[in-house]
Amino acid sequence: MSFTIYMIIINTSFWFLLNYGVFYGSPLLPERIFQNNFFFKEKSFESNLYKSIRIKKWKDKLPVMNAALKSLKNELNPAYLDKIILQTYYAEFGHLIIAVLGFLCILVNPNEYFLMAFISALVNFVIHLPFCLIQRYNRPRLFKVKSRIETSSLSMVFKKTI
C-alpha cells in the first residue's frame, strides 16, 4: 500500500472517529454537567459580540443536524423547551470538543506534514466555531421563552382559581 493511501486512511479514520464519537458520545453525558456551569452561562460581552457579527442574519442559513432543533413545535411547553435547551448544550459541547480535539490530527501525521495537518485543524476549528456561537446565542432566548410560558401558565392557573 502506498504511503499516500495509508495517510488518507489514517486521516479519514481520525476525522470520522472524532466527529462521530463526539456526536454519539455527547448526549450520553449527564445533564447536570451543563446546569449552573459557569462555562455555559452567557457572558456580559456576548450580546455585543452577536450584534457585531450579525449572527441573527446568518444563523438560520447553516445546516442543522438535530431534528428537534430544526423547528420549534407549534405547541410550546416548558418540558419541550427543556429538551431543546439541553440539545443546545450538547451541540455546543460537541462542536467545541471537535474544534479543539481536531488539533490532534497533527499527531497522526508525520512531522513533514505538520503544516498540512495544522491547516486542516485550523479549518476544522473555524468551521465549528459558528455552530458553538449559534448555540450560545439561542440558549438565553429559549430560557426567556420558557420563562414567559411558565409565567403565562401561572397567571392562567391563578385566573382560573379566582
Residue with cell 499527531: 107
**Residue 64 pLDDT:** 79
**Residue 128 grid cell:** 465549528
CA atoms lying within 13 Å on the CB side of residue 154: 7
Cβ within 8 Å of residue 34, ≥6 positions away: 40, 86, 89, 93
**Residue 68 pLDDT:** 54
**Residue 35 pLDDT:** 82
Cβ within 8 Å of residue 52, ≥6 positions away: none
> DSSP characters for 46-115?
HHHHHHHTTHHHHGGGS----HHHHS--SS--HHHHHHHHHHHHHHHHHHHHHHHHGGGGGTTS-GGGHH
The ranges of the chain with pLDDT < 70 are 66-75, 153-162
Compute how many other C-beta atoms are within 10 angstroms of the C-beta atom of residue 17.
10
**Residue 107 pLDDT:** 96
Q: How far does Cα 25 stand from its chain's mean position?
A: 13
**Residue 53 pLDDT:** 95
